[in-house]
Structure 1
Amino acid sequence: MQKLHRSVPRKGITLALAAALVGAGSAACSSSSAASSSPGSAELTPVTLALDWTPNTNHTGIFAAEQLGYFKAEGIDLKIIPYGATAPETLVSTHKADFGISYQDGLTEAAATGGDIVSIYAVTQKTDVVIGVRADSGITSPKQLDGKTYAGYGSPLETPMLTYVIKQAGGTGTFRNVTLNTDAYQALYAGQADFALPEPTWEVIQAKLVGKPLRTFELSDYGFPAIYSVLIASSRQYLNAHGDLARKFLDAVQKGYQYAAAHPADAANLLIQANESVLGAQKELVDQSAALEASAYYKDANGKIGVQSAARWTALTDFLYRNGILTDAAGKALAREPDPSTLYTNAYLPAS
């Protein structure tokens, strides 16, 4: 599932599969450790990366870079930390992981509480969530969602974001909430809700493949700020102490996502090969997802990968602050809006 929502299985992968992956991920880390002790590899420096959920196509560039040897070429022994009970934002900000996969609003919320965390790389340049309804629902505009039931995940951004979009479409922004405990399209077709926030690069594709298609509405079409739905975070402490290593890490990451953008089918195969137990039975879904991310999500309007803009960080931070979503460590609403420039940096990206 996309990065707005911490509590639901990402990319439609079940919790059972997630549990199975922990063992697979641990084995991968053990294999990586063994490699670092083999002849000729003693010079490799261990670097840890915490995943935000089970491996999926948001992570394609990372696994492609690992499979193609880009990290080792930079002198890095990458150790991937499988997703567990502790969020990547916590692992990074408490210096238990060097890097972590995060998302813009989640990182902003973590920083607001005093966490030592900063975004250093934008994996996706386009908001990877849409409003979704059943294709046969007769709903052709978000304004028709007034009075309907929304299947959500508990993120503090969901209600104010949806209210904003519905109002922009001409509605009043009033709707009911239920907690989603299944994939979005399953909840809609089961009659549990009228609309949800599925991920177009996974659940929308999956819904079509199983014969339960969705009609979708892009948030940005109604003026909502674009979101960096997938990003890589680190801590100021780590960056200050290991700046050169962070640059080498991002150089390998950049090559991985450049490869994923240029060769989506091959990159998808590398992702599956690295995570056969989780993704091996979902090849068609992974292939279509990887192709969509490559064509519409990795590159910004100028064709660049990984970069972040001040305008986008400012717009979403302002929305979060104005809607009382940002709180301090005591849970109180912030009295002053955070400076967006402290939340991200492009300083460690490879020279273009």
Structure 2
Amino acid sequence: MNPFRPRAPRRASRLTAALATAGTLLVVAGCSSAAGSADADAKGLTTVTLALDWTPNTNHTGIYVAQRLGWFKKAGINLKIVPYGSTAPETLIANHKADFGISYQEGVTSARAAGQDITSVYAVTQKTDVTIAVSAKRDDIASPKDLDGKTYAGFGAPYEKPLLQSVIKNAGGKGDFKSITLNTSAYAALYAGKADFAMPMPTWEGLEAKLTGKPLKNFQLSDYGFPAIYSTLIASSDQYLKGNSATAKKFLAAVQRGYVYAADHPAKAADLLIAANKSVLTNTRLVKQSEQMLADSYYRAADGSVGTQSAERWQAFADFEYTSGLLSDANGKKLTAKPDTSTYFTDAYLPEQS
């Protein structure tokens, strides 16, 4: 599982796919709106496609709530949820094969820097949904500085090493550690002694670890100077947004209504999510605890708003990626100047916050 994309163990290869577009696209039947223009079905509803980033999980709750309660149809929208396949949502969006998709800040930043047509329009999680974690039994690790010389169980993504080095150094360490690639869950690797630390999601793997009797001790990235991250967001393309402004606003109004409901009624929202995905979400206890945690600490920003994004947060993370040499242009060459992220996101299609 990739730290910036919840429940996505293929994240590193998917990012590569998102940036290597020509000739490899998966064309999803009925997935795209021709020439960026919304289509209407036989009932007069406008068809909108949304590509998932992984199997349905609690990060998708607001979408399924709005769908189950009929809020998309009430807005005149026939929502088609595209299951995750072999092509990343970023690729489908940027090549106009999906109208919207579930993404994350690192994915959008890398793709946009490389000239891809993708823009974040909704922040699902307002708090960074990843931590540095060790087994709760490790009394010898009281701070990230104690990770020097230890072994990290990761996912092979290029941003992991500079991120961890930054946190460890800010905690007073040197940033020297070994790495292995995960082939199991983070907490299982830690308790099996295969590694000393990992970067799991507190709203999923952290809870799962606790429920299985293998609790984790967590270090928040922001406590050690690392920029806050939008771990889950909804993205679209400039082409779609400009050609379908009214539909985009109606779609996001329904999405926001769904996530506000989830924030205010986490137990009921969890039940709606489970009902829509019974064959996938079989651990109902985990789903309900995850939903409660998201409602308590992740869905709402500090000012109480839902879905909104910060220009400062987008620029701070892009600055980190640029300084770490992680951003490349459309020709695969490293950027020679920090990118201006003002076009990487927009709140213009959100309804006004009450």
TM-score in same-fold range (> 0.5): yes
CA-CA distance at 1:154 after TM superposition = 1.7
- Which residue does 1:206 correspond to in 2? 208
- Which residue does 2:64 correspond to in 1? 63
- SS state of the match for residue 239, structure 2? helix
User: What amino acid is the match of 2:67?
Assistant: E
Partner Cα separation in structure 2 for residue 3 and residue 271 of structure 1: 23
Q: 1:1-352 residue pairs with structure 2 within 5 A?
A: 1=1, 4-5=4-5, 8=9, 42-138=43-139, 139-279=141-281, 281-352=282-353
Distance 1:302 1:311, change over 3 A: same
Flag structure 1 segments of 5+ consecutive residues without an equivalent.
11-25, 30-35
Q: Deviations over 1:323-344 (max 9, x none)?
A: 1011123322112222110100
Alignment coverage as a number of residue pairs? 325
User: What amino acid is the match of 1:149?
Assistant: T
Partner Cα separation in structure 2 for residue 55 and residue 155 of structure 1: 23
Q: Deviations over 1:258-289 (max 9, x none)?
A: 0000000000000001000010x211000000
CA-CA distance at 1:5 after TM superposition = 4.6
Partner Cα separation in structure 1 for residue 9 and residue 331 of structure 2: 25
User: What amino acid is the match of 1:198?
Assistant: P
Partner Cα separation in structure 2 for residue 5 and residue 272 of structure 1: 21
Q: Which stretch of the first structure deviates more once superposed, 296-305 or 320-329?
A: 320-329
Q: Deviations over 1:132-190 (max 9, x none)?
A: 10000121111110010001112221111100100111100000011112110011111
- Which residue does 1:16 correspond to in 2? none
Q: Answer whether contact 2:2 2:155 (CA < 8 A) is retained.
A: no
Partner Cα separation in structure 2 for residue 336 and residue 275 of structure 1: 45
Q: Which stretch of the first structure deviates more once superposed, 232-241 or 327-336?
A: 327-336
- Identity in percent: 62
Q: Answer whether contact 1:2 1:129 (CA < 8 A) is retained.
A: no
User: What amino acid is the match of 2:145?
Assistant: K
Partner Cα separation in structure 2 for residue 248 and residue 148 of structure 1: 49
Q: Answer whether contact 2:123 2:309 (CA < 8 A) is retained.
A: yes
- SS state of the match for residue 201, structure 1? helix
Q: CA RMSD in A?
A: 1.6
Q: Deviations over 1:35-68 (max 9, x none)?
A: x96xxx7111110000010000000000001000
User: What amino acid is the match of 1:234?
Assistant: S
CA-CA distance at 1:9 after TM superposition = 6.6
User: What amino acid is the match of 1:240?
Assistant: K
Partner Cα separation in structure 2 for residue 206 and residue 79 of structure 1: 30
- Which residue does 1:33 correspond to in 2? none
Q: Deviations over 1:105-147 (max 9, x none)?
A: 1110011111100000000000000001000012111111001
Report which of the two has the higher share of helix.
Answer: 1
Partner Cα separation in structure 1 for residue 54 and residue 10 of structure 2: 7
Partner Cα separation in structure 2 for residue 251 and residue 64 of structure 1: 13
Q: Answer whether contact 1:5 1:155 (CA < 8 A) is retained.
A: no
Partner Cα separation in structure 1 for residue 236 and residue 169 of structure 2: 36
User: What amino acid is the match of 1:74?
Assistant: A
Instruction: Please give the TM-score of this superposition, normalised by the length of structure 2.
Output: 0.89
- SS state of the match for residue 259, structure 2? helix
- SS state of the match for residue 230, structure 2? coil
Q: Deviations over 1:11-37 (max 9, x none)?
A: xxxxxxxxxxxxxxx9xx9xxxxxx96
Q: Answer whether contact 1:5 1:154 (CA < 8 A) is retained.
A: no
